[in-house]
Chain A
């Protein structure tokens, strides 16, 4: 837009003139400028300057007369009405100069007359302004009337300009402005009427005049936009008529002029529409404009002028659209429908920039064609001088030649030939390339921001083409690479072909051999075969340096690339800068996302999924190429993750000794031929074996093609192989890397090499359950049945069989040194070779449940045995896992090892359940105070009487399934042994030295307990019990280590002094009919007199003497004895009459128990052997009573 003059780019402005009183001009001028619409002012400080208003100097610029000289619009017409020809003249007279002496009045009259004469010819309107010079000025009515009369103006056009203060000046300016506006409008209307009248008077249809009228009328109707728009459109439409009609100018220049005028009209209309927010209308208008004039190409020799003009139209419209505040209105929808034929892009400046750039390219092409056709340089030289004097004419779109003849300068019209030369010489000066790239770059940015990647890529490719044309290969290549990516992704082969052709050529020009080869191979392997043989499209130049995509072209490109790499085409060959340096070779790497996959694809698959080490399997190497000419491969190198499996395949026809030397030591296969035909899989199958267990993966296949080209393909497997991009859309028969359909879909490039079968036996034995407390031994035997054991390592792991931890929750809360349920104590081993214990305790115990121990090297058929010692602290079922990991080979560095696993479940059980109970002596009952009290918490505790014997019975029951031998049972008193607070003695348990307890059997031991101290809480001590497995004594002999001791604390007891002790003294047996005496002794141990009542029940079995009921007092610390004589009347076990003793003081009674009151009655005097174990009978009686 910058090339348009400012008066065309901005709305029309009124021009008024100020004459006289120059000191007021700045204030008035700035006020008028700030008005809306603004007014321009032409300030004339003195009356001597008024001649500029007469317009006599502009005689040659008479508007209407211009038709005869030829032309539609004058270049400077708008400017003239903005700066030179005012519509109104305001003449300022100072009050003091008017109302002074008569000479001053005379001067005023003269000035007014002169001014009237000056403005008369143009019909300019006049305003008289009387300026008050002081605040006291009094303006007489007479003076005003005189002035108005003299100036011949209406009263309202006489203004008194007050300048008392700021507001007064402002008010005056405002008033003046109103008058200016009114008169200006009047003036411009008259002008319009005058022009129209003159057109009508001519009575002929003169389109030029009409056009001019429209243009001028618009300028005069400065503030009426709608009318203005209509006038411009009318003018524009009238212009169409001129196209066909005019004979004024030679045809080429005529068209140029028409287009120049149309351009101005279009600019004004578009601007007005866009400023009015009518974007859609503006676009429709513009579309019509370019459609109409787009066809008017004109003469071919200056065709480039047309493209230049078109380009400018789009550029200007794009800029207008971009700068216009109005964007695509939200109401616009349904693009591209009959209701709204506009499309999305047409609302975007980017679209117009792109088209502008395209036309500029056309211009560039047209210009070069025209230059070629005209042989311009010769013509130009001839006409050089005359062309220098060509200048734009006073009319828009016309050019003339200045001719100086002495002092006279005249303008001569040009003929079309001269104009053509002038246009060519001017056209040559323009650097199209920069403009084209700048426009396309603007489009790229805009389209990218609109996420229109394809449009953006298209524009990018145009920029790249321009760079290519101007030999800026680096920029060009970079842009084309970006563009090619999109085409590659979307599979647009033709477009990709074009881009690659340019990139390839850029690489060639930049001397980048590797890239040249790379892009040549990609191009050659594209699925382009629309043209074959000689069937090349006529405009194959359109496709750029790559030529039209065809099979033959692909072949040429491939051959050209391989030619460069031939051995004999060394340095110094040819004119190309692409030369292979001595010893240089090209290395290409093709990964699964590389576009070169189409050139060479390596698919590798094993025929099996897993194999044993050392056994062989088949591997197939399938290669595919889409290059049009067959590929002759010299050698293939197949690389694995296990380098010892790598192998090479050499072409038998090209086998070179040098090649084989390189690969000494590795496996080499010979293939009869390694020629890769187009789109045909070359399948090579070989056996492969690996000694190393684990994963064997094929990594890559490197192909050597001649001495200078190496292509490394990353191995792909059929199971995860993507189809070839671009080729997958082609309607070709699909081929697979393997003939076996299963392998074609599931073949893997990875194979699992299994671990070798272990030839070692590991046995783990345990005899029965483990018992809590004992050190449980689990023997391990490692026996070789073929393999050697080297670097053996035995891992032991103990886990809870139920899945829990080996530590119970209770112990985690209260950690102690012995918080584990099960603990691995040690692992010891004995080799059968060497009897001396080796590696004993060489355990690397990591935790209580895990241990690692080295296993000595074993040769074939040797064995090693060891023992695991585990201790159970609490009953629990555990799994013992043992795993041996060893290397069957002597080589220490051998990475693969063999593992053997074994597990055993062992249950830990409680061996003995220990219980205890306290018993009073037979028929002797103490009365203690605590017994009489209601039971409370302390009542839980066992109460024993002071200094009285109490029987303690300890029982141990075998609760496991193993016979156990009891070694000892004892009670150890706690606390200080020197202070005798309690004496405990074993009084019973006349059992074998080490009694054997079969499962479920119970053993009892009897102790007497005599407390010596009165105490609320007295510790009796703890039970210490030692046991051993019955089998242990048989297996290992008397080993004290095998004894397990159990300690169980006895509960605390309460010791108190009894108040009374009742003793029933009764013989154990009697004879029928023979009397015997029963004594009931009541002992008062207190220091007070005790009253007791006693009674005896009747019995059918006995006859007895003595009182039934009685009461007595017992003195302190004394004893009272009551005796009854009884005669049994019946034999057998009989109950004597029951006695009851009641203490009145304590309200407590004693009732003899059934067992205490039962005796045996012999029918007659027995004959007992008194030497026998009568004591045993007596002693066993209390025992049995439990």
Chain B
């Protein structure tokens, strides 16, 4: 089950964070997303050690927490997507597929002429689109 998705800006500032749990653990999710930026920095700065291909956006599993797993994705414009899931096992292809759709939704959202690049994403349609992606994926991964 996907717990949270987030978009992080070039300056590592949060642009969008949406949780999909019934519990109000926003703060905890914020902490998890923020800490995952350390892993992204580590992977981006040591691409050889991390084994990331030059044009590979998907960063894989960033780190597991007590109850969640955190996955990352880095766009060409250094915007990061974070996925927090409670599923113990997530298939690599599912994660990639999710991020690809996420990326498309993000591109659509920031292509809005009224959106100022670098500012928080407040588009409700982006939020709705993400929810539908999450719902679709949820049915696949919760095997």
Contact = CB atoms under 8 A, between A and B. Distances in A.
B116 to A, nearest CB: 7
A311 to B, nearest CB: 11
Given A334-B50, A458-B31, A731-B116, A539 B24 contact: yes
Given A337-B92, A538-B24, A729 B118 contact: yes
Contact of A542 (B27, B63, B115): B27
B25 A542 contact: yes
Contacts of B26: 494, 537
B66 A453 contact: no
B35 interface: yes
A728 B64 CA distance: 32
Contacts of B44: none
Interface in B24-60: 24-28, 30-31, 34-35, 37-39, 42-43, 48-52, 59-60
B28 A542 contact: yes
Interface stretch (B9-17, B74-82, B98-106, B135-143): B9-17
A729 B11 CA distance: 10
A343 B30 contact: no
Contact of B60 (A337, A346, A351): A337
A358 interface: yes
B42 to A, nearest CB: 6
A336 B62 contact: yes
A514 B46 CA distance: 45
B49 A333 contact: yes
Nearest to B72: A336
Nearest to B60: A336
Given A291-B88, A333-B49, A458-B35, A341 B119 contact: no
A1011 to B, nearest CB: 99
Interface in A402-458: 447, 452-455, 458
B13 A539 contact: no
B63 A454 contact: no
B64 A454 contact: no
Given A338-B92, A490-B12, A343 B37 contact: no
Contacts of B118: 729
A231 to B, nearest CB: 28
B129 interface: no
B131 interface: no
Residue in A333, A447, A543, A731 with the greatest tally of chain B CB atoms within 10 Å = A731
Interface string B111-143: 000011011111000000000000000000000
B49 A345 contact: no
A492 interface: yes
A343 B61 contact: yes
A337 B51 contact: yes
A142 interface: no
Given A490-B11, A542-B27, A731-B116, A335 B66 contact: no
Contact of B30 (A287, A338, A494): A494
A491 B50 contact: no
A492 B50 contact: no
B27 to A, nearest CB: 5
A538 to B, nearest CB: 5
A495 interface: yes
A729 B62 CA distance: 26
A498 B61 contact: no
Contacts of B66: 355, 358-359
A540 B26 CA distance: 10
A322 to B, nearest CB: 18
Main secondary structure, interface of B, reads mixed
A827 B31 CA distance: 81
B13 A335 contact: no
Contacts of B115: 731
Given A334-B51, A490-B11, A494-B30, A730 B24 contact: no
A447 B12 CA distance: 19
B39 A498 contact: no
A491 B28 contact: no
Interface in A447-481: 447, 452-455, 458
Interface string B1-21: 000000001011111000000
A731 B121 CA distance: 7
Contacts of B34: 454, 458, 487, 490, 492, 495
A543 B31 CA distance: 12
Residue in A336, A337, A490, A492 with the greatest tally of chain B CB atoms within 10 Å = A336
B39 to A, nearest CB: 6
Nearest to A338: B92
Contacts of A452: 35, 38-39, 42
Contact of A495 (B23, B24, B27, B39): B27
Given A452-B38, A537-B24, A345 B63 contact: yes
A158 B37 CA distance: 70
Contacts of B59: 336
Interface in B64-95: 64, 66, 71, 88, 91-92
A341 B70 CA distance: 12
Nearest to A351: B63
B38 A455 contact: yes
Given A337-B51, A344-B63, A490-B11, A455 B35 contact: yes
B9 A729 contact: yes
A358 B66 CA distance: 9
Nearest to B121: A731
B24 to A, nearest CB: 4
Interface string A622-649: 0000000000000000000000000000
A447 B41 CA distance: 13
B42 A491 contact: no
Contact of B14 (A336, A358, A491, A539): A491
Contacts of B52: 334
Nearest to A310: B66
A531 to B, nearest CB: 10
A498 B27 contact: yes
Contacts of A487: 34
A453 B38 contact: yes
Contacts of B48: 333
A731 B35 CA distance: 24
A308 B35 CA distance: 25
Interface string A488-505: 001111110010000000
Given A344-B39, A454-B34, A729 B15 contact: yes
Nearest to A725: B13
A492 B30 contact: yes
B128 to A, nearest CB: 17
Contact of B119 (A333, A537, A542, A729): A729
Interface in A1006-1060: none
Contacts of A346: 63-64
Contacts of A343: 39, 61-64
B100 to A, nearest CB: 17
Given A333-B49, A454-B35, A491 B60 contact: no
B65 to A, nearest CB: 8
Residue in B14, B27, B37 with the greatest tally of chain A CB atoms within 10 Å = B27
Q: List the 8 closest A-B pairs by CB distance, nearest first.
A: A334-B51, A336-B60, A336-B61, A491-B13, A537-B24, A452-B38, A333-B51, A338-B92
Given A334-B52, A345-B39, 17 more contacts: A333-B48, A333-B51, A335-B60, A344-B42, A344-B43, A454-B38, A490-B13, A490-B34, A493-B14, A495-B27, A495-B31, A539-B25, A540-B24, A542-B24, A729-B118, A729-B119, A731-B119
Interface of B: 9, 11-15, 23-28, 30-31, 34-35, 37-39, 42-43, 48-52, 59-64, 66, 71, 88, 91-92, 115-116, 118-122
13 contacts: A291-B88, A334-B52, A335-B43, A335-B50, A336-B59, A337-B92, A343-B63, A344-B43, A495-B34, A542-B27, A729-B118, A731-B120, A731-B122
Interface of A: 287, 291, 333-338, 341, 343-346, 351, 355, 358-359, 447, 452-455, 458, 487, 490-495, 498, 537-540, 542-543, 728-731, 734
